[in-house]
Each structure stands twice: as structure tokens, then as C-alpha cells.
């Protein structure tokens, strides 16, 4: 189940319930008058909390403590803003969600993670289907908070990097742009369109271990499950500039970050 927070309500949705794999709304909770209570001891579920609406209540659980803190903080802030407004929207108090209208059409669901974040072949495709933030959060079981969006706006970077895939020997020099939780790859800074993109949500950033035989300086590693990419910068200064924006956008939960 995927949750989307708006200024006046919290919607819960899922995918795969429509012919085109769009997000389908299953319900919505008005933020006006909502209260929150931590529920770990009551339900015996880690990182769980209960949302009490005016007409219904639901118990939800985050994947880690940090994610729960972000959700609770964002929802409480939205509740405060909603209650400063003109009152609840009568349409939101209806218990029947608008089933005839899917939430968002993000295209066909990728068959594997390789299609989503790229492999040697798929990273070089110009078609960037399925890389919306909503889609990536769903596929990688992660969340993006209002603070995360603010950090993403402040951290944008571009420059040359050398890229290496896990099972390749050579390095490819690319012009890379970091923005909107993603890396965009260009052959040169003069290109108008990227060769491909790599959404970073859910990824961890580390330096390669000795056993990986990356005998180069200023290399950082991006990895998610079995997907591994190495990037090499030209100096310690550019290495640090690339690593720390990447860390802020992909290591939201308690992942170990070791940059030497």
C-alpha cells in the first residue's frame, strides 16, 4: 500500500489494480481533526502508529524508525496547517473514494529493477519511463518527506564523472547532472537530452572495499540490492562534492555510509 500526503488529506493507494497498472485510490483520510498515536506496543509491530480520523482510523507501519519520524512530523505539520484553514472539505468526509479515476498514469510497470534504475543496456536508453518519484518510492519501498524535497532543491550538481559497471573493466567519461533525487547522464555538457538516468532513492553510498579491486582514487559506490555502480572523480574536492549530495538523497533510513 502506498500513502500520498496532500495539503488536506492522506490517500492510500496500490498499483496493479487497473489494466494499465495505474495507482488506484482505496481510501482517503481528511487531515482536519486527525490525531496520531504511536502503536508499537499496542499492536506489536515495529515503527507503527495509528491515524485517527473523524470517521475512521488506520494503523500504519514504516520500514524504519527514521522513516516513521519523518511521516509523523510531516503529517502533524499538515494537520496544523489544515486546522488553520476554513474547515474540513465535505467531499473528503465521504467514505467512498473516486474509484473511476486512477491517481496517476506512470506507464507500464517495469519487469525488473534493471529496467527501473538501469543496466549496461537499459542505462543507455533514451526512454526514461517509470522514473517518477511516486513510481520509484513504490518500487523501492521508501518515502520522501517535505524536508527531503527541500534538500533535493538545494543540492544540485553537475560535472564530469567516470562511470564503471559492476561486471565491466573500463571506465566511461560522462557529463553527470544530479537533481531531483536522480543522476542524469550525458555524453557531454553540450547535449540537450540525457542518455539515461539513475533514480537514487533507496540507494546507499559507500567507498569500494579492497576485495572489489577498484585500484583508483576518489571512487564512490552506489548500490541497491544487487545493483552496483562505481563513479570516479578527478580530485578529492570533487569527490566530496559528489558524495555528500548523493548521501542526502539516497540514505534516508539507517544505511551505513562510509566515505573514508
Listed by start position, the domains of the chain span 2-93, 113-250
Confirm whether 2-93 and 113-250 share one CATH topology. yes
Distance (Å, rounded) from C-alpha 230 to C-alpha 215? 12
Exposed e or buried b per residue across 22-46, where buried means at least 16 C-beta atoms within 10 angstroms of its C-beta: bbbbebbbbbbbbeeeebeeeeeee
Whether the Cβ atoms of residue 230 and residue 214 lie closer than 8 Å to each other: yes
Whether the Cβ atoms of residue 251 and residue 183 lie closer than 8 Å to each other: no
Spatial CA neighbour of 230 closest among 240, 220, 238, 239 = 220
Distance (Å, rounded) from C-alpha 166 to C-alpha 223? 10
Q: Which conformational region is residue 202 in: left (phi greater than 0), alpha (psi within -120 to 50 degrees), or beta?
A: left
The 3-state DSSP class for residue 33 equals coil
Q: pLDDT tens track of the chain, all 260 residues?
A: 677 777 788 887 776 655 666 777 777 888 888 899 988 878 888 999 999 988 888 898 888 888 888 889 988 988 988 888 766 555 544 545 545 444 444 333 333 344 334 444 444 343 344 567 777 776 676 777 777 777 777 778 999 999 999 888 899 999 999 988 889 999 999 999 999 999 888 888 889 999 998 999 999 999 988 899 999 999 999 999 998 876 666 655 434 445 55
CATH 2.30.29.30 fits 2-93, yes or no: yes
CATH of segment(s) 113-250:
2.30.29.30
What's 109's DSSP letter?
P
User: In degrees, to the nearest 5, what angle opens at C-alpha 71 toward C-alphas 65 and 72?
Assistant: 90
Pairing relationship of beta strands 172-179 and 157-165 according to DSSP bridges: antiparallel
The 3-state DSSP class for residue 116 equals helix
Amino acid at each position: 500500500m502506498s500513502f500520498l500526503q496532500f495539503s488536506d488529506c492522506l490517500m492510500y493507494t496500490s498499483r496493479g489494480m487497473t489494466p494499465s497498472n495505474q495507482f488506484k485510490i482505496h481510501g482517503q483520510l481528511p487531515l482536519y481533526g486527525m490525531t496520531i498515536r504511536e502503536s508499537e506496543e499496542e499492536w506489536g509491530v515495529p515503527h507503527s502508529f495509528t491515524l485517527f480520523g473523524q470517521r475512521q482510523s488506520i494503523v500504519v507501519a514504516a520500514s524504519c524508525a527514521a522513516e516513521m519520524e519523518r511521516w509523523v512530523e510531516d503529517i502533524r505539520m499538515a494537520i496544523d496547517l489544515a486546522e488553520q484553514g476554513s474547515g474540513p472539505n465535505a467531499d473528503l468526509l465521504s467514505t467512498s473514494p473516486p474509484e473511476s479515476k486512477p491517481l496517476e498514469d506512470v506507464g507500464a510497470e517495469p519487469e525488473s529493477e534493471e529496467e527501473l534504475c538501469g543496466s549496461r543496456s537499459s542505462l543507455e536508453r533514451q526512454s526514461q519511463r517509470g522514473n517518477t518519484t511516486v513510481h520509484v518510492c513504490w518500487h523501492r519501498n521508501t518515502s520522501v518527506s517535505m524536508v527531503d524535497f527541500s534538500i533535493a532543491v538545494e543540492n544540485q550538481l553537475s560535472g564530469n564523472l567516470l562511470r564503471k559497471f559492476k561486471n565491466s573493466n573500463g571506465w566511461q567519461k560522462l557529463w553527470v547532472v544530479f537533481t531531483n533525487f536522480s543522476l542524469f547522464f550525458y555524453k557531454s555538457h553540450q547535449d540537450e537530452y540525457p542518455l539515461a538516468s539513475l533514480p537514487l532513492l533507496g540507494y546507499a553510498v559507500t567507498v569500494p572495499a579492497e576485495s572489489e579491486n577498484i585500484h583508483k582514487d576518489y571512487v564512490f559506490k552506489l548500490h541497491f540490492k544487487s545493483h552496483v555502480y562505481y563513479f570516479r572523480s578527478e580530485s578529492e574536492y570533487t569527490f566530496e562534492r559528489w558524495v555528500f549530495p548523493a548521501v542526502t538523497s539516497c540514505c534516508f533510513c539507517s544505511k551505513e555510509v562510509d566515505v573514508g
